[in-house]
Structure formats: C-alpha cells, structure tokens
Amino acid sequence: MIMRNTSDKIPAELAKELRTLAHDLSNALETIVQATYLISQADPPENLRRWVEMIDQASKEAVKINQKLRQLLRSQS
C-alpha cells in the first residue's frame, strides 16, 4: 500500500524510529552475508554446503526486502 496524500505520510517521529531500525537490520544482515561468504570460502564439507547456500540465499533476500522498506520509508516521510 502506497500512501499518496501528504496527510497520509508517516509521522516524523515514527519514520525516524523505523529508519533507525531498518539501518540496524541492515548492519545485522551484512554480518550474516559476510559470515556466510567466509564460511563458503572455507570449503565446508558437502553436508554443510546446502545449509550455507540456504543461509546465503535467505540473507540476500532479506537484504533486498530491507532495501525496499528503506525506500518506502524515504518516500513516505
């Protein structure tokens, strides 16, 4: 749902808190993405590779979702 009226914008205080949370989430996700990369470079045993791939895919998807959230917050505040 995209808010179109200026009166429908997210209140400034709430927008600021949501942007802070999205930023903090970005930092946590970046740690997961980087750690997953490092684990994959360590040539894990075959039985762990699939799990590493799943974590990698899910964390990258979470990064994309968080980026969309941040864009929405910027446009609505």
The pLDDT, as a whole number, for residue 17 is: 95
25, part of any domain: yes
Q: What is the pLDDT of residues 30-74, one digit of tens each?
A: 999 999 999 999 999 999 999 999 999 999 999 999 999 999 998
Joined tokens for residue 44: 């894990």
d(CA 9, CA 2): 10
68, part of any domain: yes
8 secondary structure, DSSP code: G
The pLDDT, as a whole number, for residue 4 is: 54
Please, which pLDDT band fits residue 28 given cuts at 50, 70 and 90?
Answer: very high
d(CA 39, CA 31): 12
Contacts of 39 (CB under 8 A, 6+ apart): 52
4, part of any domain: no
Range of the domain at 28: 9-75
Please, which pLDDT band fits residue 8 given cuts at 50, 70 and 90?
Answer: confident
Count of structural domains, the chain: 1
Dihedrals φ, ψ of 67, to 5°? -60, -40
